[in-house]
Amino acid sequence: MHASRPYRSAVAWLLLGSLLTLPAAHAARAAKANERVRMEVVDRESGSAAQPVSHRGDRWIAGMPGAPYAIRLTNTTGGRVLVVLSVDGVNAVSGETAAPSQTGYVLAPWQTTEITGWRKSHADVARFEFAALGDSYAARTGRPDNVGTIGIAVFGERAPLPPVAVARAPYPASPPPPAPTSQARSASVASEAAASDMRAERQSIGTAHGAREWAPVSSTAFERATRDPVQVTMLRYDSVDALVSRGILPRHRAWAQARRPQAFPGGFVPDP
């Protein structure tokens, strides 16, 4: 879908069958935190939400390779919102390298829903699973630099305005910025490559493109009220061992979070 003002309009996805009322106390707490949309990462096997740990300005959660997870989104406002969802720097709907101007999910007022995977069609997703860095979807598609991040960019909806005829003079074109010199270009490339290598060396897990699951949605129109998002929220994640080695998790907490083998874990035989 194209529009004369791309930042105001976007192809969006309206989630179905996931409408829950947000308790007033929860809504009040979210409002105090100035969050229009609350984001949580949920372990799909236990049903519990991860509790982030703050460290040097980032919020971290621990993931276990092979574990499926969902991203729970809660609209704490009385209006519709558009949520652009990024996993490992990749748009979870379109598969593009993520940017706030792209497509996303539309949440109704006070709606809570869980996004369980990479959007494959209106009917299904490929589920989110923590996996070794090389098995992550971003790394397998040549984009490993931002593996270990989960983020949302939130937009409010523009209220319809009555038509007004206003004559406007055309804006003068801005001169293009000066091209960087070859020396500056080579220094920039070297710096980016070094930063990429350092990020890849530190990060141990990412999010894989898992088994296909039924998760129906439908398309809807959404006109953004602003060019820039009204909220940007990011979580970082890595394995328990990696977080302990960085000093983000204490060793005793790592033991508490580590998944121990069980002789009778329950459930049925899954597909390999």
pLDDT: is 245 or 265 the higher one?
A: 245
126 pLDDT band, cuts 50/70/90, is: very high
Nearest by Cα to 143 from 134, 156, 132, 131: 134
Instruction: Calculate mean pLDDT across residues 128-134.
Output: 97
Instruction: Calculate mean pLDDT across residues 228-251.
Output: 93
Q: What is the pLDDT of residues 141-181, one digit of tens each?
A: 999 999 999 999 999 999 877 776 666 656 555 566 666 56
Indicate if the pLDDT at residue 260 is higher than 60.
no
What pLDDT, on the 0 to 100 scale, is given for residue 160? 78
Indicate if the pLDDT at residue 124 is higher than 60.
yes
Q: Of all helices (H) and strands (E), which one includes residue 30? A: helix 24-32
Q: What is the pLDDT of residues 39-52, one digit of tens each?
A: 999 999 999 999 99
Lowest mean pLDDT among 87-96, 131-140, 246-255: 246-255
CA-to-CA distance for 42 and 219, rounded, in angstroms? 25
Q: What is the pLDDT of residues 66-76, one digit of tens each?
A: 999 999 999 99
CA-to-CA distance for 248 and 3, rounded, in angstroms? 45
1 pLDDT band, cuts 50/70/90, is: very low
Do residues 9 and 222 make contact, with C-beta atoms less than 8 angstroms apart? yes
Q: Would you call 148 exposed, middle or buried from its count of C-beta atoms within 10 A (0-12, 13-18, 19+)? A: buried
Do residues 15 and 85 make contact, with C-beta atoms less than 8 angstroms apart? no
Indicate if the pLDDT at residue 254 is higher than 90.
no
What pLDDT, on the 0 to 100 scale, is given for residue 20? 40
Spans of all domains in the chain: 9-159+196-256
- pTM across the whole model: 0.72
What pLDDT, on the 0 to 100 scale, is given for residue 8? 41
Cα distance from N-terminal residue to C-terminal residue, the chain: 39
Please state whether 171 falls in left (phi above 0), alpha (psi between -120 and 50) or beta: beta
Indicate if the pLDDT at residue 115 is higher than 50.
yes
Name the range with the highest mean pLDDT among 26-30, 34-38, 112-116. 112-116
